[in-house]
Amino acid sequence: MSTAPHAHIDATDHRVAYGGGSIFVRVWNSQAHGRAPIVLLHDSLGSVALWRDFPARLAAGTGRTVLAYDRLGFGESSPRADVLTTSFIGDEAATVFEAVRAQLGIRKFVVFGHSVGGAMAIHCAARYPDDCEALITESAQVFAEETTLEGIRVAKAQFADPEQLGRLEKYHGSKAQWVLDAWTGTWLSAPFASWTLRDVLPQVAAPTLAIHGGDDEYGTTLHPRLISEWSRGEVRVEIMQEAHHLPHREAPSQVVDLVRGFLETV
């Protein structure tokens, strides 16, 4: 475990044992105690490092401890060589997410997921209703929309440029090609066309904040509307009109303000 200051918030790094390897976790420790921590779940090409300074901003702005982890096969976590199945989104809640909770002693939690991490966060809220105090999705997809798939096709073509793949290697090292293939290969596969959270969202009772960019190139605002329509609990939808797929990077202060205001009502 190592410790480093980050935007006035102490960040500690941990290793969680999993499947013969390990999961890399970073925790931004707020000075406030007694509040459920916020667990961040990254997107399809993401990692702890790619959250940049947002977790520290979020910890400072909400007064809660924030933690993020690299999913297995990503970032500084152990590599994997398998091909993802269409169940990988739901599987995350029952596998790595639960291992991180168990080994770090986390019971009550707030879960915040970006993009596919948002879909994973929905599964976490559905699977652990007694422990999930609140759910926050950002740019989440709840079905395989054509807008999403076309965005992935465009990105796949761009990554044919070795320079683009090199940028991915900065965060994932030798795992970069697997990370790219896991995203494009799974989402563009024929079986994934029928994927949906229609049967999962009715199991979500936690108060929910659904943030979405009005100009998101990977999904229309139909997604947050469906989160609101299909969930059992109360849902607040916030459309950031000029934002694209990365609101937490494009307008971090606005996202932190939205999260802080939402959590003050929970």
Instruction: Name the domain count of the chain.
Output: 1
List, in order, residues 6 or more apart from 170 with CB less than 8 Å away: none
Domain around 182: 2-263
pLDDT value, residue 3 = 40
pLDDT value at 203 more than 90: yes
When the pLDDT of each residue in the chain is averaged and rounded to a whole number, the result is 95
The neighbouring-strand residues paired with 23 are 16
DSSP E strands in the chain: the ranges are 2-6, 9-18, 21-29, 38-41, 66-69, 109-114, 132-138, 208-213, 235-240
Report the CATH number that the domain containing residue 66 is assigned in CATH. Answer: 3.40.50.1820
pLDDT value at 32 more than 90: no
Mean pLDDT across 169-180 = 97
pLDDT in tens, 50-62: 999 999 999 999 9
> If pLDDT is split at 50, 70 and 90, which confidence band does 30 have?
confident
Mean pLDDT across 72-97 = 97
Q: Name the percent of the chain lying above pLDDT 90.
A: 94
pLDDT value, residue 31 = 72
Judge contact between 74 and 49, C-beta under 8 A. no
pLDDT value at 2 more than 60: no
pLDDT in tens, 57-77: 999 999 999 999 999 999 999
